[in-house]
Chains A and B, each alone.
Chain A
C-alpha cells in the first residue's frame, strides 16, 4: 500500500493539476483572509473556510480526477491489479495520496489564524474545530472523487462528473431549508455534506457530524472497491 501511496504522491507533485489545486486554494484562502478578516479588522478566521468550501466544488476534481482514471487510461491498472495488493489497500493508498495534498494545502493556510493569533483575540478551539471539519469534509469529498475516477478511463470526464456531483450536493444543501415535505427533507439531509461542514465552521463539534463524514468516506471507498471489482467483469 505504501508503494502505491508514494508513487501517487510523487505523481501528484509531478503534475500541474496538484500545483494548480495548491495555488488556487491558497490564493483564494489568502484573498478571503484579506477581504473578510484583515480588511474588516475581525478575528473571524473560520469565515475563510465558509467561503472556500464552495470554491472546493471546483477545485477537488483537479485533485482526484487522475487517481484511478489515469491508470486505466494508460493501462497501468494492469500492473496494480495483477500484483498481490488487495483492492481495498490500492483504493486506500490512492485516497490517502490525494488527501495528503489536500492536508498540505490546509496546513499552509494555518498561517492565517496564526497571524490573527499574533495580533488579536481568536478562539483556538473554534479554529481547531473548523480545521477538523474541513479536514473531514476534504476526506469525504476526495473519496467521492476517487470513486468517480474509478468509473472512467478519462481523467477530464471524471473531473467534470465529480464537479457536477459536488454542485448537486451543494445545491441540495442550499434548497434543504425550503423543503417542506418531511420525508423529502429527511432524504435530502442524508446528502447534507456542506450542512455538516457548516456546523464545524460555527464551532459545533458533534460526534454525529464526525461519524457522518467518516461514514461518507468509508462508503465511497467501498463503492470504489466494488466498482473496480465490477470493472474486472468487463475488462477484455
Chain B
C-alpha cells in the first residue's frame, strides 16, 4: 500500500507539488494523470525515494520512505521518466547489475534475468549492447530493470512516452499482463493509456490533486450525460410523436439540418441509458428515415480538460 500525506515540494518560490494526499491500496492499478509539468514526475520521484519532499510523508507498505528507506525501496520497482540506462552494457550485464544492486542471491540471478526477459520479450537481445537497440526495446529493458526484484509495487513514469504506436501497444499489453497481484502506479500524460490500464485515476493540475476517483466516478464528477445526435428526415410533429414514446430522454434540442427536410436533433439521457435501440424502433414505427445517429458523449479527455481548465480558470 502506498500512502502519501500532505505532500509538498517547492523549489524556491516555485511550488511543484502542493498538499497532495492519497492512498493506493494493494493490488490497485492507479493512473496519475496530468499535463506536462503538473508535478507527476516529482511525485514519482518522491514515492521512489529519489527526491526528498519539502513537506508531508510517504509510506510504502507501512515504512516511511525517509525513516526506513531501505525497507521502503525494497518493495518498489521504479521506471523513471526518460528511462535512464547504461547504454554501454549488454542487456544481460545491465540486468545482472540491477539484480546485484538489489542483492538477489547469486544463485537466483540467472533465473530472474530469464524470467524478466521472458515477460518483457527481450530474451533474444540479452547478448546485445543496449546502445545498438531500438527505443521500444530499450524501454522494455527499462521496465525489466524495474521488475528485476519482483517488487509488489511498480512505479512507471511515462512508460510509453515517445514510442511508436506499435511499441506503445506492445508495452501496454505487457503491462496488462503484469497487473495481477501487483500494485501499479502509472504516471502519464496520455489519457488513453490510463483508461486502458488503470482502475483508478489521480488527476493533477498545477501540483494540486484535483480528482482522486475511479474512472466511472470521474465521469459523473464532470456531470456526464449521454448525448445522442440524430439527423432525421422528419417534421417537428413527427419528432414529438417519437419522443412521446421515449421516457428515458431527459432533454431535447432540435434545429433544421443542412439537407432539405432534415432535422438535427440532440437527445440527452442518463449515463447508463442507451437510446439508440429506442430511437431506431420509434423511427421505424413512424417510417422516418435516419440519416445519421451518433453519440456526442463527453469523453474523459474533455472531462480532463474541463477539470484542469476549471482550476486554471480559478487561479
What residue of chain B has the Cβ atom nearest to residue A71's Cβ?
Answer: B84
Instruction: Given A82-B49, A84-B74, check contact A236 B41 (CB 8 Å).
Output: yes
The count of A-to-B residue pairs whose CB atoms sit within 8 angstroms is 73
**Interface, chain A (partner B; CB < 8 A):** 2-4, 6-7, 11, 14, 74-86, 229, 232-236
Does B31 sit at the interface, judged by CB under 8 A? no
A234 to B97, CA, bound (A): 27
In the complex the two chains form, is A83's CB within 8 Å of B52's CB? no
In the complex the two chains form, is B102's CB within 8 Å of A84's CB? yes
Instruction: Given A2-B100, A79-B98, A82-B73, check contact A7 B50 (CB 8 Å).
Output: no
A233 to B45, CA, bound (A): 11
What residue of chain A has the Cβ atom nearest to residue B37's Cβ?
Answer: A236
Residues of A within 8 A of B50 (CB): 78, 81-82, 232, 235
In the complex the two chains form, is B11's CB within 8 Å of A78's CB? no
In the complex the two chains form, is A78's CB within 8 Å of B102's CB? no
Residues of B within 8 A of A6 (CB): 97, 100
**A161 smallest CB distance to B (angstroms):** 24
A84 to B74, CA, bound (A): 6
In the complex the two chains form, is B42's CB within 8 Å of A236's CB? yes
**A97 smallest CB distance to B (angstroms):** 13
Does B80 sit at the interface, judged by CB under 8 A? yes
In the complex the two chains form, is B102's CB within 8 Å of A79's CB? no
Residues of B within 8 A of A2 (CB): 100
**B110 smallest CB distance to A (angstroms):** 15
In the complex the two chains form, is B97's CB within 8 Å of A3's CB? yes
What residue of chain B has the Cβ atom nearest to residue A11's Cβ?
Answer: B88
In the complex the two chains form, is B102's CB within 8 Å of A235's CB? no
Does B22 sit at the interface, judged by CB under 8 A? no
Does B197 sit at the interface, judged by CB under 8 A? no
A-B contact pairs, 18 of them (CB 8 A): A3-B97, A6-B97, A7-B86, A75-B80, A75-B84, A76-B84, A78-B45, A78-B80, A79-B98, A82-B49, A82-B76, A83-B73, A83-B101, A83-B102, A84-B74, A84-B102, A232-B51, A236-B45
Does B304 sit at the interface, judged by CB under 8 A? no
In the complex the two chains form, is A76's CB within 8 Å of B86's CB? yes
Residues of B within 8 A of A235 (CB): 45, 50-52
Residues of B within 8 A of A11 (CB): 88
A79 to B87, CA, bound (A): 13
Contact of B51 among A14, A84, A236 (CB under 8 A): A236
